[in-house]
């Protein structure tokens, strides 16, 4: 049998290439031109890239043999995952290969900045022997505040505890059990962490919620002489606020591996001797690059053999008739899971899922994985997929329970019911498929409804009385928001009720706040997106 052909368009470690060559025919073409790649891509079964090669429809549409795209690294900004999915091409990456290196780079920058190591080295090499400007501080006995207790954040916590530091952390999406496992004191708010920490290090993704999360107001709460480290993503700590803090002396030192604009050239932060800067070196170690190369090679080989592939970004890992039957239920389960963190901020400790009806004759494990993928997607730094969702949930202290019932307890033939447990705001939901096999939400916290889980959806609690629903709908219309569908539910007449409203466009945050002030509306409406 002929070997599968793999083209590698960017540099990966020799160990990865050697592993590929042991199983496949490898064409290593670092620096290949775009035009040439487009001309020859139809000859290959697999493509391995890093961050430069653009994997878009122009390329994929010509790749008639392509089965898998391997990204040697974490980010997939250069890969159009939706296009790959549409063409049936698996996309796999290596999100965990650089975690140790990133954690160690954090420690390196922390130590260098608090002891003025880089500044002192430059000073001495210039020909001056003088210790006076470089007096630093010990880590012993200090309090470090970690923002984000995921994989890298927890590794940093473990290492800094070895310095006999007090470790506190803020992460609203991590369970209490994980804090306890790493011996870290949980802070309920970022403000509480800022007030207490002598040193602050961030380990979160950069998204709408975290961009500039540490700004001028946050630094006003911090101790005088606070020290900061950012090896996560540029912009989580607002650079303008950091600049002002360094100029005023509020911030004693900083260690920075990432910047709001990269490549960073002539950044005003570079003028400070008490700021240690590196050019995004977090993953740039021999060991990390070796792991990246070997891991992506292993995944591509598995994909070409039709085996289960870890870190698949876009597709389920089983391709059977059963999977085809279950596919709309997979979509349903994932969208149901996606509801929780769009409504609640409390960390999850337990997930209970019940499958009812004929669907239980199939393997429902994939549905549970899809639910967990949907649950974690809004809050995870790493790209969550069908392969790693269960592992990542367990890593965060989430206990998972699954059961099956032959008969559905409600009028629906097949039903997926889920209970997401936290510290007092449990969410209970149930869903099924419509006749057109589209995902439907049929119950939320005991309120019966039949609402399509597509596009934008408003969840509104209201008093069950006249002149509430009408004014609310009118107010939406006044804001140019068209209602596509509405379901109203109550448990008992005259008590609290709920509206589930499908709308055609996004409702902005300031509009939601105003809607929450309407007489009879109980709290600010929640906007969900699917």
Peptide bond into 284 cis (omega under 30): no
Cα–Cα distance, 310 to 279 (Å, whole number): 30
Q: Which of 36, 262, 508, 509 is catalytic?
A: 262
Alpha-carbon torsion, ordered 257, 260, 264, 266, to 10 deg: -120
Q: Which structure tokens are listed for 400?
A: 């998972």
Instruction: Tell which residue, 420, 480, 478, 470, has the closest CA to residue 445.
Output: 420
Q: What is the DSSP string of 144-167?
A: EEEE--SHHHHHHHHHHHTTT-EE
Q: Which of 151, 206, 227, 233 is catalytic?
A: 233
Cα–Cα distance, 525 to 516 (Å, whole number): 6
Distances (CA, A) of 284 to 76, 98, 206: 18, 8, 20
Q: Which of 29, 159, 212, 280 is catalytic?
A: 280
Are 456 and 529 in contact by the 8 Å Cβ rule? The answer is yes
What is the H or E stretch that residue 226 is in? Answer: strand 226-230
Alpha-carbon torsion, ordered 375, 380, 386, 390, to 10 deg: -70
Query: Residue 414, CB half-sphere, CA atoms under 13 Å: how many?
Result: 20
Angle between helices 14-23 and 286-305 (to 10 degrees): 20
What is the H or E stretch that residue 239 is in? Answer: helix 239-248
Give the contacts of 168 (CB within 8 A, at least 6 positions apart): 143, 144, 145, 146, 184, 185, 186, 187, 193, 196, 197
Establish whether 291 is a catalytic residue. Answer: no
Establish whether 233 is a catalytic residue. Answer: yes
Give the contacts of 224 (CB within 8 A, at least 6 positions apart): 249, 250
Strands 496-503 and 456-463: antiparallel
Strands 185-186 and 251-256: unpaired
Establish whether 490 is a catalytic residue. Answer: no
Cα–Cα distance, 350 to 174 (Å, whole number): 12
- Catalytic sites, residue numbers: 233, 262, 280
């Amino acid at each position: 049998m002929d070997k599968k052909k793999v083209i590698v368009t960017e540099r990966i470690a020799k160990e990865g290439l050697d592993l590929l060559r042991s199983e496949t025919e490898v064409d290593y073409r670092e620096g290949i031109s775009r035009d040439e790649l487009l001309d020859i891509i139809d000859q290959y079964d697999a493509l391995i890239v890093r961050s430069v090669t653009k994997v878009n429809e122009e390329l994929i549409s010509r790749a008639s043999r392509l089965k898998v795209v391997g990204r040697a690294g974490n980010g997939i900004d250069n890969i159009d995952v939706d296009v790959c999915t549409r063409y049936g091409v698996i996309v796999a990456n290596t999100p965990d290969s650089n975690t140790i290196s990133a954690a160690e780079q954090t420690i390196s920058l922390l130590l260098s900045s608090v002891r003025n190591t880089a500044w002192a080295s430059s000073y001495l090499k210039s020909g001056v022997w003088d210790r006076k400007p470089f007096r630093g501080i010990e880590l012993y006995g200090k309090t470090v505040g970690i923002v984000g207790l995921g994989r890298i954040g927890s590794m940093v916590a473990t290492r800094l505890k070895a310095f006999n530091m007090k470790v506190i952390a803020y992460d609203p999406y991590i369970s209490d059990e994980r804090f306890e496992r790493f011996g870290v004191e949980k802070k309920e708010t970022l403000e509480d962490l800022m007030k207490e920490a002598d040193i602050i290090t961030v380990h979160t993704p950069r998204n709408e919620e975290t961009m500039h999360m540490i700004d001028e107001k946050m630094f006003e709460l911090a101790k005088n002489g606070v020290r900061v480290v950012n090896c996560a993503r540029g912009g989580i700590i607002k650079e303008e606020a950091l600049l002002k803090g360094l100029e005023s002396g509020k911030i004693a030192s900083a260690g920075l591996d990432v910047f709001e604009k990269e490549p960073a050239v002539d950044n005003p932060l570079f003028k400070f001797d008490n700021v240690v800067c590196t050019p995004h070196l977090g993953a740039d170690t021999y060991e990390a690059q070796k792991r990246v190369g070997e891991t992506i090679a292993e995944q591509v080989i598995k994909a070409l053999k039709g085996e289960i592939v870890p870190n698949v970004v876009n597709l389920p890992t089983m391709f059977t008739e059963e999977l085809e039957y279950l596919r709309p239920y997979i979509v349903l389960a994932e969208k149901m899971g996606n509801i929780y963190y769009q409504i609640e901020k409390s960390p999850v400790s337990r997930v209970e899922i019940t499958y009812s009806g004929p669907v239980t004759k199939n393997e429902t494990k994939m549905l549970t994985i899809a639910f967990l993928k949907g649950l974690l997607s809004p809050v995870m730094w790493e790209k969550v997929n069908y392969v790693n969702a269960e592992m990542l949930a367990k890593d965060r202290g989430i206990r998972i329970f699954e059961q099956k019932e032959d008969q559905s307890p409600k009028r629906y033939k097949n039903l997926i019911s889920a209970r997401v447990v936290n510290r007092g705001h449990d969410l209970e939901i149930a869903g099924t498929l419509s006749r057109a096999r589209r995902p439907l939400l049929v119950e939320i916290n005991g309120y019966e409804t039949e609402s399509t889980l597509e596009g934008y959806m408003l969840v509104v609690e209201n008093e069950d009385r006249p002149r509430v629903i009408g004014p609310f709908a009118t107010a939406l219309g006044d804001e140019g928001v068209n209602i596509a569908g509405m379901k109203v539910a109550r448990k008992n007449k005259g008590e609290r009720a709920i509206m589930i409203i499908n709308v055609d466009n996004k409702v902005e945050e300031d509009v939601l706040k105003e809607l929450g002030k309407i007489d009879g509306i109980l709290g600010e409406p929640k906007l969900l997106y699917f």
